[in-house]
């Protein structure tokens, strides 16, 4: 499990707790997201990542990114985990058994048997609840969306909508 003593100590002093996620993949957040004030997914930002994150946290730049993956409520919500080793720790990604004996299914490799139902395709098709859907993202500003317009032009369809920034800061 998670140790919340540090975040609890900051909250006790009236301070905000912001979690910066530096990862190339989704992770479980449901067990702790209500104990922090904000989550910023930096992905794998590289050498300028610290500057980029600082610009967002100080308000110099408005966060405008959207999630490129669906984030599950629990890691085991992904059907691919059915093929993981049964003694596989979903939080530390360690096998709890010695796998030095060669290529052992579930330890050294995993068969993906979920067909095309990977990521958002699985969650959308089977109407599963998620922590954060594909395309989710917040901003420091607010937007108003006008009524969409749909026009057929030959073999093409054109969809347009007017978007107005109704907030106090610039945003995308």
> ∠ CA(38), CA(88), CA(80), 5° rounding?
75
User: Exposed/middle/buried for 70, CB within 10 Å: 0-12, 13-18, 19+?
Assistant: buried
Query: Looking at the chain, which runs of residues are DSSP E strands?
Result: 18-21, 38-41, 143-145, 149-153, 156-160, 163-165
Q: Could you read off the pLDDT of 55-106 as tens digits, one per residue?
A: 999 999 998 889 999 999 988 898 888 877 666 666 665 666 655 666 666 6
**Average pLDDT over every residue of 118-126:** 90
Say if 149 falls within a structural domain.
no
- Pair (62, 83) in one structural domain: no
- Pair (59, 127) in one structural domain: yes
The pLDDT value recorded for residue 82 is: 80
* Number of domains into which the chain is organized: 2
What CATH number is given to the structural domain containing 72? 3.40.50.1700
For residue 169, what are the contacts with CB-CB under 8 A and spacing of at least 6? Answer: 59, 62, 140, 141
| 108 or 149: which leads in pLDDT | 149
**Average pLDDT over every residue of 14-28:** 93
- Pair (68, 15) in one structural domain: yes
The pLDDT value recorded for residue 163 is: 95
pTM of the full structure: 0.74
- Pair (60, 129) in one structural domain: yes
Rounded to whole angstroms, how far apart are CA atoms 105 and 102? 10
Q: Could you read off the pLDDT of 140-166 as tens digits, one per residue?
A: 899 999 999 999 999 999 999 999 999
Q: Could you read off the pLDDT of 92-106 as tens digits, one per residue?
A: 656 666 556 666 666
- Pair (130, 45) in one structural domain: yes
**Average pLDDT over every residue of 18-39:** 92
The pLDDT value recorded for residue 91 is: 62
């Amino acid at each position: 499990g998670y140790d919340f003593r540090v975040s609890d100590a900051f909250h006790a002093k009236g301070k905000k707790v912001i979690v910066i996620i530096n990862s190339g993949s989704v992770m479980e957040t449901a067990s702790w997201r209500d104990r922090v004030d904000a989550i910023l997914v930096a992905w794998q930002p590289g050498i300028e990542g610290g500057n980029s994150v600082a610009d967002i946290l100080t308000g110099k730049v408005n966060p405008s990114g959207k999630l490129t993956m669906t984030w599950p409520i629990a890691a085991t919500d992904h059907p691919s985990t059915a093929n993981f080793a049964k003694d596989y720790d979903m939080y530390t990604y360690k096998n709890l058994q010695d796998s030095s004996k060669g290529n052992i299914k579930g330890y050294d490799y995993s068969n993906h048997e979920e067909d095309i139902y990977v990521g958002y395709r699985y969650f959308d098709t089977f109407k599963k609840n998620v922590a954060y859907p594909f395309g989710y993202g917040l901003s420091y500003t607010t937007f108003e969306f006008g009524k969409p317009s749909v026009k057929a032009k030959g073999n093409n369809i054109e969809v347009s909508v007017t978007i107005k920034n109704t907030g106090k800061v610039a945003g995308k």
